[in-house]
Amino acid sequence: MSSYRTVFWDIGGVIVELKSIREGYAAFIEDLAADADLDSSPALDRWTSALGEHFKGREKPRYRLARDGYAKATAELFDNDPPADWGARLEAAVSAAVRPKLGAPETIRRLSGTDVDQSIVSDIDTPEAHLLLGALDVRDRFDHITTSEAVGYTKPDERMFRDALDALSADPDATLMIGDRYGHDIVGAAALDIDTVGYGPDATGPKTTYEIDDLREVPGIVGIDG
């Protein structure tokens, strides 16, 4: 029997290497630029700047859809008349580029073969969560996916964590949250008495229960190693 019955995962920076997503964005813009005879480097700068402005405009802790930002940023490159298939091309570029953090897929698969339930708790659009997890072939290893799109708020708002707890009828005292951002993942989970795994230097602090640099340490923390 494991020490914890439920494990929550963030996606970006924990399961997925964030740099690989940015590389997917760059490949997407390069693809569009080639068809439209644009210089890809300044086009990427304009696109990422417009996307950043989209997120800056949100009223915290409410969530603003990333796909709306993608649409605005892409339209800006084409005087509001982007290619009709831009969305599919973006998904294809990101899916092809995405890489996992070291140890993430095998740890997820290891936990899924036990009595432990797993859920995503991530500030992300729902379709994008499915796209990234599917690209890494771990989507079916999760019992639930909580996204900011579904809840309407971002971490550390407690509604994000309560959504996952309620969906799995999970006990906070037997739940573990794995995150890479102290003020979002760790503080938010700890407020509901959920133990936390701080992954990397930006997730350490007084409310972090366990500090790790390798996700392959997680099964031992959960109590199923060996």
Entry pTM: 0.96
Domains and CATH numbers, the chain: 6-17+100-222 (3.40.50.1000), 19-97 (1.10.150)
Half-sphere exposure at residue 131, Cβ-oriented, CA atoms within 13 angstroms: 21
| DSSP type of residue 173 | G
Given a cut of 70, whether residue 1 has pLDDT beyond it is: no
Q: What is the pLDDT of residues 20-68, one digit of tens each?
A: 999 999 999 999 999 999 999 999 999 999 999 999 989 999 999 999 9
Assess contact for 214 and 102: CB atoms under 8 A. Answer: yes
In this structure, how many other beta carbons lie within 10 angstroms of the beta carbon of residue 175?
24
Peptide bond into 61 cis (omega under 30): yes
Over range 202-206, report the average pLDDT: 98
**In angstroms, rounded to a whole number, what is the distance separating the alpha carbons of residues 117 and 111?**
8
Cα(108)–Cα(111) distance, integer angstroms: 5
- Give, to the nearest 10 degrees, the angle between helix 18-36 and helix 86-97: 140
pLDDT tens digit sequence for 58-105: 999 999 999 999 999 999 999 999 999 999 999 999 999 999 999 999
